[in-house]
Amino acid sequence: MRKFISVLLAGVLAIGVFAGCGGNSGGSGGIEGNGGRAVSDGKMIYYVDIVQYQIRRVAVDDLSAESELVYNGGAESLSLSKDGRLYFSNSGSNTISCIKPEDDEATDFVEFNSTAVRPVVLSEDEKWLYFSANDQNGKYPKGIYRIDVNTSAVETVVDEEVSGFSLMGDSLYYITNGTLMKKNINDGTSSLLIEVFDENVIEFHVTDEYIYYRLYGDKVIRRCDLDGQKEKVIYTADENKSIIVAFADKDFVYFANGGEDGFYRIKSDGTGIEQINSRELDETGDIAWSSAAFVAGKIFVRVYSDGSGGGLYCLDRDGKNGFRLK
């Protein structure tokens, strides 16, 4: 089903310098959720209110409490450094910005001509901030870039259109032209391992051990190892159903099964499928499940419609005790 191609790219190209938001050092130990809509340092959950696109925070040990406003703007994607800096894409000002919770104003890194900039992901060594762009008529055409958080220099990492990426350690996984690709970000030769599928890859999720993915028009969840080998079918939906793969952790793949009321999970070996929650999450009524993440031992689910304009919900890992973040 696949063939593998090794490609050499011309090295990483520096393309600009901008005012920074201070430096970071050390690893991101204890930080979970970088690049998503919810991120945690183990004590606090910082999240994007998807109705107002604000950044808010709430204590991990009291998630049902009233949240505190951190930033009132067009935030979409969050990353958190060990020293407490929040990096985010800002659709309100078309920038990538950073702020500390105690600051009054955010500092901008890069300005774009379009709002199609997401996600914003901090590397494990906290030296680089990775982002994808689709700035057709500006400095940053379609591709993946990274910012040195100490010098604010911007470098090109991938110079072609991408539709999603994931950073795991020193490996960058991304989709371009329906192809799932893997690149070692520390390799000076910029060697690229390309996995070409018979059908276009439209979504994927990377864990420490596997890549879970789905192909265009397919109703199948597959997995392979981190080098694209050892493919295994995890789940096949009925013909009249559709699948949205929400996320995966080391034990389960979580997904919405279209045509049925609910959110499901299945073990990473393809056994033990179970419905973990219906659409009737609480008194607000019908829920249209969308993207989700697993942070600080909880599932955080974005919903588009719940009778009040949508929001971010918090669930136990088994789907129990769900409530909307305030």
> Out of 32-46, 128-142, 217-231, which region has the weakest mean confidence (pLDDT)?
128-142
List, for residues 253-303, the tens digit of each pLDDT value: 888 776 555 678 899 999 998 887 655 554 444 455 556 678 888 888 776
Residue 40 contacts residue 28 (beta carbons within 8 Å): no
**Going along 142-281, which residue ranges are E strands?**
143-148, 153-158, 165-168, 171-176, 179-184, 191-196, 201-206, 210-215, 220-225, 232-236, 242-248, 252-258, 263-267, 274-277
This prediction's pTM: 0.82
Residue 130 has pLDDT above 80, yes or no: yes
User: Rounded distance, CA 278 to CA 84, Å?
Assistant: 36
Higher pLDDT, 21 or 95: 95
Residue 114 contacts residue 61 (beta carbons within 8 Å): no
User: Rounded distance, CA 311 to CA 326, Å?
Assistant: 9
SS3 60: helix
204, 249, 273, 222: CA torsion to nearest 10: 30
Domain boundaries, the chain: 3-196
Residue 42 has pLDDT above 60, yes or no: yes
Domain 3-196, second-level architecture: 6 Propeller (2.120)
User: Rounded distance, CA 188 to CA 219, Å?
Assistant: 39
Question: What mean pLDDT value characterizes the chain?
Answer: 76
Question: What pLDDT sits at residue 92?
Answer: 67
Going by pLDDT thresholds of 50, 70 and 90, the confidence category of residue 193 is low
Residue 169 exposure: Cα atoms within 13 Å on the Cβ side: 9
- What's the alpha-carbon Rg for the chain, to the nearest Å? 19
Question: What pLDDT sits at residue 260?
Answer: 57
Residue 303 contacts residue 287 (beta carbons within 8 Å): yes
Going by pLDDT thresholds of 50, 70 and 90, the confidence category of residue 27 is very low
How far is CA 118 from each of CA 4, 34, 53, 121, 187, rounded to the nearest angstrom?
28, 12, 14, 9, 24
Higher pLDDT, 282 or 309: 309
Query: In this structure, how many other beta carbons lie within 10 angstroms of the beta carbon of residue 25?
Result: 12
User: Which tokens in the block code for residue 263?
Assistant: 């959110």
Higher pLDDT, 241 or 43: 43
Burial of 196 (0-12, 13-18, 19+ CB in 10 A): middle
